[in-house]
Structure 1
Amino acid sequence: MKRAAKQVLIVLLVVMAVIGTGNISAQADYNWKPKKVSIAQSAKKVSQGKEFEIRAKVTPIDAEDDYIRWEIISGKKYVKFEDRDRTGDEMDFIAVKPGKAKIRCYVQGKSKKKYGDTITVTVTKKKSDYSLAKVGESVKYVEAWDDFDLEVKKGSSIKNSQLKWEISDTSIVSFAERKTTGTDVEFYAEKTGTVRVTCTCTSGKAKGKKVVYTVNVIADDDDYDDDDYDDDYYDDYD
C-alpha cells in the first residue's frame, strides 16, 4: 500500500510540474511590452487651428499600448497636445501656428532612437475665406404674424459682428429680437407685402459684400378663421 501510494504521489507531482511549466511558458510567450513602434508617415501637413491625430504601429501587434509614450521634440510653439494624456498607440494634437514641429513616439524603458519613431509636422497658414452666400432660396414666402429666420453662410475670415441685417420696409417685416447682426437673425411678419432683407459685411476685406433676400408676406392661411367656415358650421345647427 505504501509503495502504491508513493507511485500515485510521484505521478501527481509530475502532472503538476508539467502544468506549471505550461503556465510559465504561456506567460512567457505573451508580449506585454512592445519591442518597437513605428509611424506610417515621416511627414505631415496640417492647416493652422486644426486638430489632428497621429497613429503608431506596435510590434508585435498584440503588445500592450500602455507602454507607448509621446513627446514633442521641437516646435512646441507650433504644435501642442490636445490634452494631458501622453500614452497609447494614437495621439491627438492641435496645430497652433505656422511652423515645423517634430514629434516622437517610443516604448517606455527602451532606447527612443532605436525602438521609437518620429514624424515632422508642418503647420501651414490658414487660408483666407471671405465668401458670403445665401442659405436656401433667395425668395421666401411667410404668413403674416409668423416668426421666421434668415441665414447666410460666411467664410472663416469674416466675423459675426461684421454682418449687419437691414429691412427695406419695417412696417411689413420687423426684427423679432434686438439682434441684428450675425449669420442668422429672427424676423416677424407684420402684414402682407413684399420687402428686401439684406445682410451686408460692414468692415474688413469683405466690406460691401452682401446677400439679398426677397420676402413675400402672404395672408394667414388659417381655415378656422375663415368666415365661410363659421357660417357653414352654424348653419348645420339651425
Structure 2
Amino acid sequence: MARAKQTDRAEARRRYRQTTAQTPGDDDTELDFGERRPDATSAKPAQAKRNEPQQTGRPGFMGAFRQSYRPPHVREDLLALPSLVRTRGFLAAIALVIVGAGVVLVFPNYTGSRFAWELLVWPGSALAPQLLAGFFAPRASYLLGLLVGIVQGIVFTIFLTQFADRLGTTLPPDQMTSLLSVSFLTGPISGALFAAAAAWYRRFLALSSPARAGAGKGGARRSSSR
C-alpha cells in the first residue's frame, strides 16, 4: 500500500509539472528518487565563449619586437653546428667572401673590385655575408656570423701577406698588428652581432607582416582539420 501511494504521488507531481509548464530554473517541486533537475545554465558558457572577441594571430609592433628575440642556447647550438655549416645560407655567405677575394685577385685596382672587397671581405665592415648567413639561419645565427667573420679574417690575412699589391695600397709593417687584430677579434664579434640582428629581423618580419600572419593562420586551420 505504501509503494502504491508513493507511485500515485509521483504521477501527480509529474502531471502537475506538465500542466504548469514551468521553466527548469523556476521549478521548486520535489523530484523523485533518481531524477535530475535540468541545468538551465549549461548552455551559458558555450554562448559566452562564442560572444568573446576572437584574438587575431598578428601581434602588435611591441609584441612582435619582444617575441622576435630568442635567447642563445650555447650548448645546443654547438651540438647543432655541424649540420648548420652545411645549410645553404652559410655556404652562400662563404661563397660571397671567396667571390669578393677572387674579384680583387683577378681584377685588381678597379673600382668595382674595391667595392666588392669592402662589401664582402674586409673584416668589420664587410657585413653582407653575415646578413645572408644570419637571415637564413635556422638557429645559432650568431655562431654562423662568427664563423663567417673568421673566414673573412683568414682571407684578409692571406691577401695582406701574399697579395698586398693587388689591394692597390702598400701597408706599412707597423699596421699589420692592428689589422690582424681587426681580422680575428673585431671582425668576428661584429659579424656575430650582425648575423644575430639579421635573424631577429627575419622573425620580426614574419610576426608583423599581415600576409604572413594570415598564411600562418590558414596553415594552422588546414593542419587542424586533417
Q: TM-score, normalised by structure 1?
A: 0.22
More helix by share: 2
Whose RCO is larger (CA < 8 A, sep 6+)?
2
Report the structure, 1 or 2, having the larger strand content.
1
Q: TM-score with structure 2 length normalisation?
A: 0.23
